[in-house]
Amino acid sequence: MAKTTKKPKQLTKEQILKAPEKDYMNAAQHEFFRALLIEEHDTTREHIQQAKDQMSSPMDLSDENDRASWEEQLNISMRIVDREQKLLPKIIKALERIRLGEFGYCKESGEPIGIPRLLARPTAEYCADVKVVKEIKEHVFKD
């Protein structure tokens, strides 16, 4: 008889926030974040497709003000698409870190990133302290 693996029960956001530190990044939490990332991936792809559909069907606007408004909306949509297209690879990398058991831990220090930070930004690769230092270095050395 084949052995079946039992899938962990899907946790809620509140349960994850209330979980003791010893439960950090257990199988149930990994499953929660995996589902969250897959949902975010699907939603992002839908947003990109909707924006592309909107851009590919230009309106027949004879009024200059309407045309200018539509073009401005088009520019905003293009920026959103660009931003969301950059998010997709980050989501895929986060899903890979879950698969490898590395999700939730800082890539540089190895310290826990923390549940609140991961809920706010599930693609986070660094704990807040390391990220702050990286951003300061980027700002100082950007030229």
Residue 34's contacts (CB-CB under 8 Å, 6 or more residues apart) are 95, 98
pLDDT of residue 5: 55
Domain edges within the chain = 22-140
Closest to 121 in 3D by CA, of 89, 83, 84, 94: 94
C-beta separation of 128 from 114 below 8 A? yes
Pick the CATH number of 22-140 from 3.40.190.80, 2.40.50.140, 1.20.120.910, 1.10.1040.10: 1.20.120.910
Give residue 63's pLDDT: 78
- pLDDT for 137: 86
pLDDT for the residue numbered 58: 66
Tens of pLDDT, residue by residue, the chain (143 residues) = 455 555 556 888 999 999 999 999 999 999 999 999 999 999 999 988 888 887 777 666 677 887 788 888 888 888 888 999 999 999 999 999 999 999 999 999 999 999 999 999 999 999 999 999 988 888 887 75
What is the identity of the amino acid at 127?
Answer: C
